[in-house]
Structure 1
Amino acid sequence: MNFKKRAFLFGSLSGIFWGLDYTLAGQVHTLLTMTFLVSMWLTSIHDLGVAATVSIISKSSVKKVKDLKLWQIISICCIPLLGGLAMTMYMLSTRDISTGTAIIISSCYPAVGMIGARIFLKESLTPLKILGFIIVLIGITLTAYSELFDQANSIIGLSFAILAAIFWGLEGVIYKMVLNADVSANTLLFLRKISTIIIFLPFTWIIIDTVSIYVLLLIAAIGVIGYIADLAYMQAFKYSNVTLAMSLNITYIIWGPLFAFMLFDQSISILLLIACAILIFIGNYLIFKSKSVY
């Protein structure tokens, strides 16, 4: 299997398993009174499950952490800060703008990644790649259209959503930079998840008594699915450029509602979902066909 086909396979798998991971984690969130600290706490426990999975499956990858260069360690430790800030900005944006608007704007992170990759990684921007992403964005817009007018939009909310897209986009560029330096996906994942725990867990320790141990065990178990999703995402970056990896990963927007429908009987519009899926597939196929994808 050549690099482009591997990129398409792993990118698609990352979207599928992210969709499943987010759906299951979302159901756990419904069991709790959600606050910012509780959300950070659950994210830390989820990432603990991912790190534990890496340490069990690939002990050699954990040992390789000590062989990383200082710039690689610093870069990887910056990822949870960017990811955490992105999620925070997204959560704050939904207070002041409609959920649909927040989803659409924050989902522009592949565009930020595309520009960041051009600046920092010298990846080319081709007309086919740009057209493909625009079609993907149209598909995303349709998935969130019904929620676009839930509430009035404000400048503050829009700004938060834009910042979320920027932070998520830069996160992907760092992934690619580190993987280009021949750091294994499992080593990167382990250090990235441990960094999240070290950075976020101390600030959320005060709410430990408010969360049931069974909920924590459940979210940690879901971390196994998160590991599969994140590993596939890393492999997509390894075999392709930033734009394709992110645009394929963003298909979780399709898979999430589908899993919610199949597992929890949540109502969805099948025809709309199919139309969105077709558009997102066409957009990704154009990016896949771009000569700049390797």
Structure 2
Amino acid sequence: MTEARKKFKAIGISTGLVSGLMYGLYTTFVLIAGYYKPLAGAVGLFAAPYVTSGLNDLFAGLWLTAYNVKTGRIREIGRSISLFPGKIILIGSLVGGPIASGAYLMGLAMAGAYAIPISAMYILFGALFARIFLKQKIVPRVGIGMVICVVGAIVINWVKPEGSTNFTLGIICAFVAAIGWALEGVFAAYGSAMLDTDVVINIRQLLSGIVDLFVILPIAGGMGLLKGTLFSLPPVMWLAVAGFCAAVSYLCWYKSNSTVGCAMGMSLNITYAFWGVLFCILFLKQPVTPTIIIGSIIIILGAVLVSVDPFELLMKKEEVNNEI
């Protein structure tokens, strides 16, 4: 039983870390897509972010649908929606998709890579909501690791970049994304505990993409931009790749939340703040500043503390030495 629990925990930790890496890639590919016309230079605060968010989530949903068809789970989508946990997932999908993801991409458009680690502060709200609604306890080690991660996010955003006129508004949007994702994490942890996570995230991505493109976008006056983007090959290709990365990221995140708990799953997923900034530096020529480097290192240290007990590692090392 002890070995089975350790294996179960190891799966949750590894999937949580993979979710962070893939979300960092998703963020980078979405920003690359925004460099191409007609997304580049699009007029309006909401149009471009919601075209990008909607197409990305729709592509992610289609990737996941193909995956569930291959694995024989596709029939579970309708059954899951009819159940009470499935309805909870629908609520979480609306909060985490159109609200949080849309706000995140608006933050990226206005504040650049600096919005990435600010949105990672969702672990604080997630831990609070998990404690209130799911009665999940936070052990001191995990709590300290979470605080360290947040400190790293603050350090990264300590210095305002030059030439960013809407930087503050972008940071506010990232903050809204943090609250939305925290709520989604709680809903996902509840629903995923009783439903297949592969089916749950399929529902999430499809619903988010449909609401973004066919409910919010017409209100924002962005249907013309959507049509122009669909007929432009480069941004569509990048968004399709971004959708694949998002699909893998959410699959791993939901799996991690359901195996090691909402607080730890979120804390592992927060490493996307490091990967996102790193990839932006490598591929998008994001200026390298001391605050970005120091803050990213702090985030990694916090995530390691959340996922690994240092005393447990030391005890294992002593056992190995004794055996030798």
TM-score of the pair, normalised by structure 2: 0.76
Question: Alpha carbons of 1:153 and 1:221: their partners in 2 closer, same or farther (altered >3 Å)?
Answer: closer
Q: What is the aligned partner in structure 1 of residue 95 from structure 2?
A: 82
Identity of aligned residues (%): 23
Q: Deviations over 1:198-241 (max 9, x none)?
A: 32221336223332331224312331122222212122112211
Question: Alpha carbons of 1:67 and 1:152: their partners in 2 closer, same or farther (altered >3 Å)?
Answer: closer
Q: What is the aligned partner in structure 2 of residue 70 from structure 1?
A: 83
Contact 1:108-1:165 at 8 Å conserved across structures: yes
Q: Deviations over 1:114-143 (max 9, x none)?
A: 111112211012322221111111112222
Contact 2:23-2:272 at 8 Å conserved across structures: yes
Question: Alpha carbons of 1:180 and 1:164: their partners in 2 closer, same or farther (altered >3 Å)?
Answer: same
The one-letter amino acid paired with 1:242 is C
Q: What is the aligned partner in structure 2 of residue 210 from structure 1?
A: 228
How big is the shift at 1:93?
7.0
**1:152 and 1:17 mapped to 2: Cα distance?**
27
The one-letter amino acid paired with 1:167 is G
Structure 1 unaligned regions, length at least 5 = none
1:201 matches 2:219: no
Question: Alpha carbons of 1:288 and 1:201: their partners in 2 closer, same or farther (altered >3 Å)?
Answer: same
User: Aligned runs of 1:119-268 on 2, under 5 Å?
Assistant: 119-147=132-160, 162-181=175-194, 183-203=195-215, 204=217, 206-207=223-224, 208-211=226-229, 212-214=231-233, 215-268=235-288
How big is the shift at 1:148?
7.2
Contact 1:47-1:220 at 8 Å conserved across structures: no
Question: Alpha carbons of 1:257 and 1:52: their partners in 2 closer, same or farther (altered >3 Å)?
Answer: same
Structure 2 unaligned regions, length at least 5 = 1-5, 310-324
Quote the RMSD (CA, aligned, Å). 3.1
The number of equivalent residue pairs is 286
Over alpha carbons, which structure has the higher Rg?
2
- Which secondary structure state, in structure 2, belongs to the residue aligned with residue 2 of structure 1? helix
Q: Deviations over 1:144-173 (max 9, x none)?
A: 22337967998x888765543222210111
How big is the shift at 1:195?
0.8
**1:240 and 1:52 mapped to 2: Cα distance?**
28
- Which secondary structure state, in structure 2, belongs to the residue aligned with residue 58 of structure 1? helix
The one-letter amino acid paired with 1:80 is S
Q: Deviations over 1:6-26 (max 9, x none)?
A: 222111111111111110111
